[in-house]
């Protein structure tokens, strides 16, 4: 917690990007290491993404101008791509396969791009749209939500949605 939601989220971007880089530096010999890292990545990425979707993005959308609405739509679409396709496909791959390495690379590229864009565009806009007090309040709300049972509910729902997307459209073998 940093008393500014935008700083907290930026710090989490750095953490998840570092983990993704670590994953992308593994080789097929990391049969156990890769799933362990993937678990850590999900634990860092999903609460962050789900809270953005539940709280930050809708609040931002309410205050956004036309450019802001496009930025919002872009962020939502990138979340959908990662949560419903890129991440589930990676999880479906055997950790020692070339598919795993290829899909991990795509996840790293998507998340890095999304985080950079969010910081440069949406967060820059949000800094003007939300007062320091509001940002501190959101930061406290986020910390509270992460420690609450609502987090587990949100994670369970997200996991069901990801499994359904995978069933509906499985990746090529
Ligand atoms: Fe995001
Ligand atoms: Fe983010």
pLDDT 10s digits, 36-47? 999 999 999 999
Please state, rounded to an integer, the average pLDDT across all residues of the chain: 97
Closest ligand to residue 50's CA? 1
Expressed in angstroms and rounded, the spacing between residue 172 Cα and the centre of ligand 2 is 29
Q: Six-digit token pair at 76? A: 């939502």
Model pLDDT for residues 45-74, shown as the tens digit of each residue: 999 999 999 999 999 999 999 999 999 999
User: Where do the domains of the chain lie?
Assistant: 5-168
Q: Is 137 helix (H, G, I), strand (E, B) or coil?
A: helix
Expressed in angstroms and rounded, the spacing between residue 27 Cα and the centre of ligand 1 is 28
Question: How far is the C-alpha of 138 from the C-alpha of 121, rounded, in Å?
Answer: 19
Residues 156-162 have a mean pLDDT of 97
Over pLDDT 90: what percentage of the chain?
Answer: 97
Model pLDDT for residues 89-104, shown as the tens digit of each residue: 999 999 999 999 999 9
Q: Helices 33-51 and 5-24 meet at what angle, rounded to 10? A: 160
């Amino acid at each position: 917690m940093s008393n500014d939601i935008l700083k907290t989220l930026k710090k989490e971007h750095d953490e998840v990007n570092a983990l993704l880089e670590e994953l992308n530096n593994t080789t097929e010999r990391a049969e156990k290491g890769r799933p362990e890292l993937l678990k850590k990545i999900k634990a860092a990425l999903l609460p962050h993404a789900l809270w953005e979707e539940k709280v930050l993005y809708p609040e931002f959308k309410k205050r956004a101008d036309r450019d802001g609405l496009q930025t919002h739509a872009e962020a939502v679409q990138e979340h959908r791509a990662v949560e419903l396709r890129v991440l589930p496909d990676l999880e479906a791959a055997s950790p020692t396969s070339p598919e795993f390495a290829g899909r991990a690379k795509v996840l790293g590229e998507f998340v890095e791009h999304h985080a950079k864009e969010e910081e440069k565009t949406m967060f820059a806009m949000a800094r003007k749209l939300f007062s320091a007090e509001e940002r501190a309040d959101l930061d406290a709300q986020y910390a509270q939500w992460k420690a609450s049972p609502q987090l587990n509910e949100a994670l369970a729902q997200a996991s069901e949605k990801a499994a359904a997307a995978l069933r509906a459209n499985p990746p090529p073998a």
